[in-house]
A and B are shown apart, each in its own frame.
Chain A
Amino acid sequence: METRTFRITLPANVSTLEQVRHVLAEQASRQLSAAALHELILAVDEACTNVIRHGFKEDASREYTVEIELRSCSVVVGIWHDGPPFEPPTIPPATPDLRQSLLQRKRGGLGMSLIYRLTDQVEYRTRGSLHGMQLTKRTSGT
C-alpha cells in the first residue's frame, strides 16, 4: 500500500481540537481498530493541546498543522508548529503521582503520560523552522 498523506492547518485555538479528532477518525478508521483509533485520537488531542496552550499560549493568530500519514503497517501523525520547540524527555514520562496531584489540587501533567502510553513511538523532529512531534500507531499491534 502506498503511503497516503493528509494535512490540515488550523488556528492555535482549543476549539479546533474537535475538528482534529473528526478528521483523524475519518482518515484512519479503516486502518485501525476502534480501540486503537480512540487511543491515537486521544494522544493527538493531547499533543495538539500542548502546542496550543504551552507553545502558542492560545494565540489564535498562530497556526499548527496536523499531518496524517497512512502507511502500510502504521498510522503516523505529525503535529507541526513554528512556536518554541519542546524539549524531548530523555525517558518516557512517568504517570504523575495522582495522590499528590489531588492533595495539591493540581490538574496538569497527565497529557504527556497519555501520549507515551497510547502510541507505539514518539519522535521529535524539525523541518526548516517547524518543530514537530510525530506519533506512530502500528496497525499490527492492535
Chain B
Amino acid sequence: MASRSFSVGFRTSETVTILDLQGELDAHTASELEAAFQHALSNRQVNLIVNGEHLRYISSAGLGVFMAYIEEIREAGGDLKIAALQPHVFNVFDLLGFPEFFDIVSAESEALSRFS
C-alpha cells in the first residue's frame, strides 16, 4: 500500500533522471525509494539526482537505501547526486559521514552541471 507520507516523482533532464522526494522517509516508506531506484536501474537510468527540497524527514532506514544502491549505480557507469536537502535533513547525512562518499550539493542545477 502506498504511504500517504512519502512519494517519489520522476523527471528527466537530457540524460539525467531526477527523483523528487516528498514527505517523510522512514522504515515504513523506505521501500518506496528502493522501488524508485530499482525502476531507474531497470530502465538503465544511472545518472540520478535525488532532489530533497520537499523531504521533511529521514531516518537510518532511508539512509540505508542510498547505501544499498550507490555502488550498483556507479558500477553501471552512473552516479547518484543528492541536491537541495533541508538543513535538518542534511545534518543527518552529515552526522554519519555521507558527504565523504556521496556528492551532496545545495542546488539541483549544481548537480546537473556535474553530470555535463
Evaluate whether A98 and B28 lie within 8 angstroms (CB atoms) in the complex, with A49-B59, A114-B95 already known: no
Bound CA span A41–B4, Å: 19
Highest count of chain B CB atoms <10 Å: which of A17, A41, A52? A17
CB neighbours of B3 from chain A (8 A): 15
Q: Mark A103-142, 1 if CB is under 8 A from B, else 0.
A: 1011110110110011000000000000000000000000
Number of interface residues, chain B, beta carbon within 8 A: 26
Bound CA span A53–B65, Å: 16
CB neighbours of A102 from chain B (8 A): 67, 70-71, 101
CB neighbours of B88 from chain A (8 A): 34-35, 38
A2 at the interface (CB under 8 A from B): no
List the count of A-B residue pairs having beta carbons below 8 Å apart.
76
Q: Give residues of chain B (1-52) contacting chain A, Cβ–Cβ below 8 Å.
A: 3, 5, 24, 26-28
CB neighbours of A21 from chain B (8 A): 24, 26, 57
CB neighbours of B72 from chain A (8 A): 105
State whether A14 touches B96 (Cβ < 8 A): no
A95 at the interface (CB under 8 A from B): yes
B63 at the interface (CB under 8 A from A): yes
Task: Kindly report which residue of chain A lies nearest to residue B67, judged by CB atoms.
Answer: A107
State whether A98 touches B68 (Cβ < 8 A): no
| Cross-chain pairs A/B with CB under 8 angstroms, 7 sampled | A15-B3, A15-B28, A35-B88, A45-B26, A102-B67, A103-B71, A107-B68
Q: Which A residues contact B (CB, under 8 angstroms)?
A: 14-15, 17-18, 21, 34-35, 38, 41-42, 45-46, 49, 52-53, 95, 98-99, 101-103, 105-108, 110-111, 113-114, 117-118
